[in-house]
């Protein structure tokens, strides 16, 4: 039996829910399935802390937000996408306010804005330092209003079905029962979030395993700019828990083992009283993470059992400010490090945080594959280029989630009977899951071992700094791991919440993502934003002012092409901070 809907939305996080609401508002006649492997409120969006960027007039301007985003992205952003983004971000945040999002306020009642890395103006709206929690709650409760949105909570999508170049639905497992269903639809919007778990040390939730990127890739859609992986400069050692950029926006300092604010040595400006926009601690994340590596090389970091760290100093902010503006930061430090930032230094180190690359889409979320759309962190529109600015991701998922929803609502032709090829593929996938995985007798490999080797390989080969050599080694190792992944043991043959099965599926998705990252990083012989090649240390606009697009060629092998970046009003220039 198959389940039929007009639209399937893969993912119940910020992007997925925003897209669902946009369709439900525009076309109440369409039936929308929102499928999520975790309960929607547990999606990674819930853990966003610092805030969401949108211009607040009259002090700020759309052009300034656009310019900061484009230079922050080292000129790899498509400027038409950035212009649409900055123009629509304020109305999206205001809409959330009307739906109930409790934005923090200034004493006069206006929406409060804070400074954020790489931004020349204060434009980051926030709800204390629990912005993602409030944003996701607001979207979730708003989505409940629409009877046309049917939720499939704790259902895991394993495949996107394609008939004659057109998407026809998905196959998903209901985790509670192990039931495997084909769910047909005229359009699928992939909103499955990031892929930080490909790396060993990340701020991302356990669920951020790049499923949607691999699903779209396997269905025939290209992935764009996969070599650009963002490290956030301030994660807690061992756990990788994020200490939000908000801590530096409120005036926190980064100091090395000598108590010295080392960022002044890295072309990021000089210390000044109070936070200085776009300089020192409020420089962009790629530069700050790279400066950390250099401090370690100079022997100026602090050694810990979990590797070298530097210190984040908030003590001078005082208890009142920390309690009012950074309560969650204090809570995390107390719970996970047993230190109180009011009195003590916080140990921090860079940690994988965000994927700039993703499923290639146009400005309306459409991929080159008919009927397949993507939005949120899974997608690459691209507004983030080679390095995302903090607080641009939440407004991005709102703006482009809404745009993808609007495009689907407009294109939907109503319910169509699924073609025989779609149903046959559904059967095929069911057989594969049942026979090859659930009933697999013995496997030689352990999931955890292959996963750990993959994570170490990607970190060593495609970390903050890469080289042709490190990437070649990583590519060889990943090839071997891909083979070994085919024979991992799945000892649990039961159907109820079989997390061993989903872990095996996630591992194979992550390996696809890891291979794309490494291959695109190997081919890009330049340094730009978060992609730093020690063998090609400078930016090369002649050859690489272009997006990489990796897709499966007819022979089943990955192939990489390039597409020029769209430049509208901001010709490529040097990235300058702190001057």
Ligand X SMILES: Cc1cc2nc3c(=O)[nH]c(=O)nc-3n(C[C@H](O)[C@H](O)[C@H](O)COP(=O)(O)OP(=O)(O)OC[C@H]3O[C@@H](n4cnc5c(N)ncnc54)[C@H](O)[C@@H]3O)c2cc1C
Q: Mind telling me the catalytic residues? A: 285
Residue 512 binds ligand X (CB under 6 A): no
Closest to ligand X by CB, 51 vs 269, is 51
Tell me, residue by residue from 313 to 342, as one string, x for binding to ligand X by CB under 6 A and - for no binding.
Answer: ------------------------------
Residue 527 binds ligand X (CB under 6 A): no
Closest to ligand X by CB, 131 vs 142, is 131
Q: Residue 261 and residue 266: Cα distance in Å, rounded?
A: 11
Q: Are 347 and 311 in contact (CB under 8 A)?
A: yes
Among 33, 51, 243, 287, binds ligand X (CB under 6 A): 51
Residue 309 binds ligand X (CB under 6 A): no
> Residues touching ligand X: how many (CB under 6 A)?
45
Q: How many CA within 13 A on the CB side of residue 56?
A: 19
396 forms beta bridges with none
* Smallest gap from residue 387 Cβ to ligand X (A): 14
Residue 10 binds ligand X (CB under 6 A): yes
Residue 47 binds ligand X (CB under 6 A): yes
Residue 49 binds ligand X (CB under 6 A): yes
Tell me, residue by residue from 363 to 382, as one string, x for binding to ligand X by CB under 6 A and - for no binding.
Answer: -------------xxx----
Among 132, 237, 308, 371, binds ligand X (CB under 6 A): 132
Residue 544 binds ligand X (CB under 6 A): no
Closest to ligand X by CB, 172 vs 276, is 172
* Smallest gap from residue 469 Cβ to ligand X (A): 31
Torsion of CA 475, 480, 483, 489, to 10 degrees: -120
Q: Which residues in the 193-222 window bind ligand X by CB under 6 A?
A: 193-194, 203-204, 207-208, 211-212
| CB neighbourhood size of 307 (10 A) | 12
* Smallest gap from residue 392 Cβ to ligand X (A): 6
Among 262, 354, 400, 577, binds ligand X (CB under 6 A): 354
Among 6, 7, 8, 43, binds ligand X (CB under 6 A): 43
Residue 13 binds ligand X (CB under 6 A): yes
Identify how many contiguous H helices and E strands the chain contains and give both numbers.
Answer: 15, 23
354 forms beta bridges with 230
Residues with Cβ < 8 Å from 183, sequence gap 6 or more? 2, 3, 4, 5, 8, 33, 35, 152, 169, 170, 171, 172
Tell me, residue by residue from 443 to 482, as one string, x for binding to ligand X by CB under 6 A and - for no binding.
Answer: ----------------------------------------
Q: Residue 420 and residue 426: Cα distance in Å, rounded?
A: 10
* Smallest gap from residue 155 Cβ to ligand X (A): 6
Q: Residue 499 and residue 579: Cα distance in Å, rounded?
A: 52
Q: Residue 276 and residue 271: Cα distance in Å, rounded?
A: 8
Residues with Cβ < 8 Å from 155, sequence gap 6 or more? 35, 36, 37, 172, 173, 174, 175
Closest to ligand X by CB, 97 vs 297, is 97
Q: Residue 235 and residue 256: Cα distance in Å, rounded?
A: 15
CA distances in angstroms from 90 to 52, 62, 110, 263, 365, listed in the order given? 10, 10, 14, 32, 19
Among 31, 36, 279, 289, binds ligand X (CB under 6 A): 36
Q: Where are the beta strands (DSSP E) in 20-117?
A: 32-36, 52-53, 113-114
Q: Are 326 and 246 in contact (CB under 8 A)?
A: yes
Residue 252 binds ligand X (CB under 6 A): no
Q: Which residues in the 382-401 window bind ligand X by CB under 6 A?
A: 391-394, 397
* Smallest gap from residue 131 Cβ to ligand X (A): 5
Nearest CA to 547 out of 222, 225, 228, 77 is that of 225
Q: Quick check: helix, strand or coil at residue 347? A: strand
Closest to ligand X by CB, 191 vs 302, is 191
* Smallest gap from residue 503 Cβ to ligand X (A): 12
* Smallest gap from residue 203 Cβ to ligand X (A): 4
Closest to ligand X by CB, 302 vs 381, is 381
309 forms beta bridges with 302
The footprint of ligand X (CB under 6 A) covers 10-16, 35-38, 40, 43-45, 47-52, 131-132, 156-157, 191-194, 203-204, 207-208, 211-212, 242, 354, 376-378, 391-394, 397
């Amino acid at each position: 039996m198959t389940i039929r809907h007009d639209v399937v939305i893969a993912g119940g996080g910020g992007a997925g829910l925003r897209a669902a609401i946009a369709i439900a508002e525009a076309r109440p006649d369409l039936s929308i399935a929102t499928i999520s492997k975790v309960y929607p409120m547990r999606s990674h969006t819930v853990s966003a802390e610092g805030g969401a960027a949108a211009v607040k007039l009259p002090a700020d301007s759309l052009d300034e937000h656009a310019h900061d985003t484009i230079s922050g992205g080292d000129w790899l952003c498509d400027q038409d996408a950035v212009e649409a983004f900055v123009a629509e971000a304020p109305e999206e945040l205001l809409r959330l306010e009307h739906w109930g999002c409790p934005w923090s306020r200034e004493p006069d009642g206006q929406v409060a804005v804070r400074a954020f890395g790489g931004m020349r103006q204060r434009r980051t709206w926030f709800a204390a330092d629990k912005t993602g929690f409030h944003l996701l709650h607001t979207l979730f409760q708003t989505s409940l209003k629409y009877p046309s949105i049917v939720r499939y909570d704790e259902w895991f999508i394993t495949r996107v079905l394609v008939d004659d170049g057109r998407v026809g639905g998905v196959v998903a497992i209901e985790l509670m029962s192990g039931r495997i269903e084909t769910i047909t639809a005229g359009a699928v919007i992939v909103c499955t979030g990031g892929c930080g778990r490909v790396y060993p040390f990340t701020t991302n939730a356990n669920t951020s395993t790049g499923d949607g990127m691999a699903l779209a890739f396997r269905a025939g859609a290209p992935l764009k700019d996969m070599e650009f992986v963002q490290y956030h400069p301030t994660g807690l050692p061992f756990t990788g828990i994020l200490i939000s950029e908000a801590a530096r926006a409120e005036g926190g300092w980064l100091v090395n083992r000598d108590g010295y604010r080392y960022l002044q040595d890295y072309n990021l400006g000089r210390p000044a009283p109070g936070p200085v926009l776009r300089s020192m601690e409020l420089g962009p994340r790629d530069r700050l993470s790279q400066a950390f590596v250099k401090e370690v090389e100079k022997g100026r970091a602090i050694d810990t059992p979990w590797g070298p760290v530097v210190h984040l100093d908030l003590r001078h902010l005082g208890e009142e400010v920390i309690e009012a503006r950074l309560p969650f930061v204090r809570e995390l430090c107390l719970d996970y490090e047993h230190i109180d930032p009011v009195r003590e230094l916080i140990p921090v180190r860079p940690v994988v945080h965000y994927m700039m690359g993703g499923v290639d889409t146009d400005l309306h979320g459409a991929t080159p594959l008919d009927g397949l759309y993507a939005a949120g962190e899974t997608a690459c529109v691209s507004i983030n280029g080679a390095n995302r600015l903090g607080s641009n991701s939440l407004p991005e998922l709102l703006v482009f989630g809404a745009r993808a929803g609007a495009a689907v609502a407009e294109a939907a032709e109503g319910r169509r009977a699924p073609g025989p090829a779609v149903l046959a593929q559904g059967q095929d996938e069911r057989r594969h899951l049942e026979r090859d995985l659930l009933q697999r007798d013995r496997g030689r490999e352990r999931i955890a071992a292959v996963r750990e080797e993959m994570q170490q390989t990607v970190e060593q080969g495609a970390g903050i700094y890469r080289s042709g050599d490190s990437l070649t080694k990583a590519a060889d190792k990943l090839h071997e791991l891909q083979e070994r992944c085919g024979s991992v043991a799945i000892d649990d043959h039961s159907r109820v919440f079989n997390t061993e099965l989903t872990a095996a599926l996630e591992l194979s998705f992550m390996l696809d993502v890891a291979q794309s990252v490494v291959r695109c990083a190997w081919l890009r012989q330049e340094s730009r934003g978060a992609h730093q090649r020690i063998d090609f240390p400078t930016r090369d606009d002649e050859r690489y002012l272009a997006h990489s697009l990796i897709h499966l060629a007819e022979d089943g092998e990955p192939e990489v092409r390039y597409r020029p970046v769209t430049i509208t009003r901001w010709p490529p220039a040097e990235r300058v901070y702190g001057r």
